[in-house]
């Protein structure tokens, strides 16, 4: 609770006590007590939401913090570095002999994605004949081991479309799409924070 709110609560409590002490009607005092209780509860709720907001901001920051870094847009494994410092020392300075002055560098970032449980099925010869294909296997992707096992028990659909090979352009498009999805969440958090601050005034 803010200092101004605490002072208001104390004044309301004191006023209610004075009304009762003077022997006046208790209705006014009861009203002040009820109002003070409601204000105290509201302030506690706002404090809880403020804490949740801070936690959400930190979780969002951590979720979007890169774990691997690449100088430029070459995200091959050979260019993977553990920090921006390594990108500068091992790549930029290597490609630019004794650089001087000011520079603007593109450092691509990457982070882990959630684990994928794969339900994998190898086709029998009979299944290959039925599909008229020499494909050796098919698979589906799941969020848990239990879901993958359940998919195998049900039987993976034969003839499932194969997942396309990932290319660098596809990875970059997915990264930009993720940024566009995250931005509205950040704006929502900012609006929520502004609304809470307004309530605290």
Distance CA(106)–CA(73), nearest Å, equals: 7
Give the pLDDT band (50/70/90) at residue 165. Answer: very low
Q: How far apart are the first and last CA of the chain?
A: 11
User: Which residues, 6+ apart, have CB-to-CB distance to 130 below 8 Å?
Assistant: 158
What element of type H or E holds 71?
Answer: strand 68-71
Distance CA(31)–CA(36), nearest Å, equals: 8
Q: pLDDT at residue 107 above 90? A: yes
DSSP state of 96: S
Q: pLDDT at residue 1 above 90? A: no
Q: pLDDT at residue 129 above 70? A: yes
DSSP characters for 116-130?
A: -EEEEEEPPHHHHHH
Residue 41 in tokens: 């509860």
For position 83, what pLDDT does the model report?
92
Residue 151: Cβ-neighbour burial (10 angstroms; 0-12, 13-18, 19+): buried
Q: pLDDT at residue 80 above 90? A: yes
For position 173, what pLDDT does the model report?
59
Residue 2 in tokens: 């803010």
**Which has more confidence, 181 or 84?**
84
Distance CA(9)–CA(15), nearest Å, equals: 10
Distance CA(48)–CA(53), nearest Å, equals: 9
Distance CA(159)–CA(128), nearest Å, equals: 10
Residue 88 in tokens: 């500068």
């Amino acid at each position: 609770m803010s200092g101004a709110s605490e002072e208001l609560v104390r004044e309301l409590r004191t006023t209610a006590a004075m009304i009762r002490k003077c022997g006046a009607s208790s209705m006014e005092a009861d009203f002040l007590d009820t109002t003070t209780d409601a204000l105290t509860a509201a302030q506690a709720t706002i404090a809880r939401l403020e804490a949740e907001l801070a936690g959400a901001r930190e979780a969002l920051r951590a979720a979007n913090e890169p774990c691997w870094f690449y100088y430029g847009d070459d995200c091959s494994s050979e260019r993977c570095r553990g920090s921006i410092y390594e990108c500068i020392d091992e790549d930029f300075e290597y490609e630019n002999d004794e650089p001087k002055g000011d520079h603007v560098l593109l450092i691509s970032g990457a982070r882990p994605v959630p684990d994928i449980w794969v339900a994998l099925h190898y086709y029998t010869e009979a299944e290959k004949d039925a599909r008229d294909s020499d494909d050796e296997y098919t698979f589906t992707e799941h969020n848990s081991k239990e879901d993958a096992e359940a998919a195998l028990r049900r039987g993976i659909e034969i003839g499932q479309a194969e997942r396309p090979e990932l290319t660098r352009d596809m990875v970059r498009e997915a990264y930009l799409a993720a940024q566009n999805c995250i931005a509205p969440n950040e704006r929502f958090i900012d609006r929520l924070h502004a609304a809470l601050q307004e309530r605290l005034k």
